[in-house]
Structures are given as structure tokens and as C-alpha cells.
Amino acid sequence: MKVAVLGAGAIGAYAGAALHRAGADVHLIARGPHLAAMRQHGVRVLSPRGDFTAHPRATDDPADVGPVDYVFLGLKANAYAACGPLIAPLLHERTAVVAAQNGIPWWYFHRHGGPYDGRRLQSVDPDGTVSAVLAPERAVGCVVYAATELQSPGVVRHLEGTRFSIGEPDRSLSTRCLDFGEAMRTGGLKCPVEEDLRGDIWVKLLGNISFNPISALARATMRQMCLHGGTRLVIETMMRETLSVAEALGCTVGVSVERRLAGAERVGDHRTSTLQDLERGKPLELDVLLAAVVELAEITGVQVPTLRTVHAISDLLALRSAA
């Protein structure tokens, strides 16, 4: 099995190191000091489950890698439309793209069935620019429940969680999913192949759609948001509105708002990825988290006044931070 990790940051390098331990032919695609460190010292993973170092190949040029069986996409979703020159050298006729993204993916309605089958969301696939680069037929969905961060170039600190749930848009238990899941598990990670991954997408989104924009607006950690009564109420309302949209699309989410809030509070003083991006001057990945659900609410006729309000304010923050 030949795997390229495009966007080998904290999550990508962690997954790539595990796949390398499983015996896969792994190529990490990165740049800058992080690439230099991985080339010289490998990927060093610091984890409560035990530290280890893996030595997959690393490069900044996908042409050096050539076509692979799987591309593990570790880029932020707002970089997908522009990744064509990077991903093109990695593709052959059957290459699968395992997209480890938060929020609503560009392939969401691909082979969905029902009245919305094949529909394109402007917020996540503007004018079809993402689908033109990443054909939905190649997509294997991936919902990441692992928390990692780059402690320093080449050094990934694994904080908690090892689950990477994957699944096909058409809900089949395909050979390509089963094989990839087996390799991930052999490397020490949890990688269930879900018959309908969309349920997992909404479970993860319940937290991302609420905590991520609010954390950036308030410059607050998970614990701080949970302990502030007014903010906690806003987050709870956002979660309930999100559940209403999921239900209107025929998706039953197997977790309660109360359980989701309790889990977030246990995380403690963790800064969301959106807050970290804001502090580092990086683009904010809010379209797939918040704008997409507002668009889905318009499509389904669900009223989401709190989501609309937070979207309007956080969208202005994203525009100003990018200026």
C-alpha cells in the first residue's frame, strides 16, 4: 500500500507515522522547518500511549512521490480548491482521497440518495472549484477524533483520542475502506469503517460549529466557554439548531447536547483549532463549519437564528483577520 500524506501537519504526520509502522509505503508532503526536521530525524510522536519515532519519506514535491493508492488529505478545507497542482501527480485511475476534514465535506450529497442527491453546496464547493480538483468519486470520508499538535518541527504531541472513522459516500463497505482501516489499526490507531459516516460528521460538527467560532470571538478555551453561563447557553442553542438541520436531512445524531457539552468541559483549557489559527494569523476554517449549515438550513427551511447571528459576526472576524 502506497500512501501520500498531503498536508503532513500534526494530524497528517501522526496518521502517516502510524501507517508507516504498519508497513505501508508512506510519503509525507510538507514544507519549511517541519519538513527539514522530518527528513533528518523522522516523525517523533509524544503520546500518553507511548512515545515512538517513525521514518517515512518526506518531500515538498509530489512529483517525487508519483501515483499512490491513497492520498491522506491533511490540509484545511479552505485550501482544497487550490491544491490541484499538488495532488495531480499523486493520482492514478483508482487513487482514493481520504479527506480528514472538519465540518460538511464537499462530497456530502454525492450518492446521498433522496431529493438532495448530487446537490452542490456553494459554501464548501464554490462554483464547483473543489469538485474540479477532488472528484467526489475518489472521496473516502474521514472524521478525526484524535487531538494532536505540533510541539516543534518534526515533533507531534498526541493529546488524546486515536479514532479516525472512515466511510464511503454511498454507504458501502468497500475494499478500499476496509484495507485502509486495517492498515491504520495495525499502526496502532482506531479506524472503524462506518456504513453511514454522515452521522459521525454531525456528531463532530456539534462541537466544531459552536465552540470554534465562539472561541475565536471570545479568545476563550473550552473550559472557559463551558463555565460561562451565558456563553454556554449560546453554545447549547447552536447545537440544538444544528441537530434540527441534521434531522431535516434525515440524519439521526446519536449523541445528546448535554453529553456533548460534558465531553467538551472535560477537555479543559484547550484552544480550538480556529482560535489557534486566529492567533497565528492563518485563514479561519469557518465556511465548512458554520456557513455550510446555514446554507443547509436555507435548503431545508429550518430556522437557525443563533447560527445565523454567530455566522455573521465570525465571518466579519475572518474577513478582518485575512486583510
Cα 128 to Cα 134: distance, rounded to the nearest angstrom? 10
Q: Is residue 204 annotated as part of the catalytic site, yes or no? A: yes
Single out the catalytic residue among 2, 76, 190, 204: 204
Q: What phi and psi values does residue 15 have, to the nearest 5 degrees?
A: -65, -40
- The sheet carrying 43-46 orders its strands as 52-54, 43-46, 155-160, 147-152
Cα 268 to Cα 270: distance, rounded to the nearest angstrom? 6
> CB within 8 A of 115, min separation 6: which ones?
none
| DSSP secondary structure letters along 87-139 | HGGG--TT-EEEEE-SSS-TTTTTT--STTTT---TTTSGGGHHHHHS-GGGE
What distance lies between CA 312 and its chain's CA centroid?
23
Cite the active site residues.
204
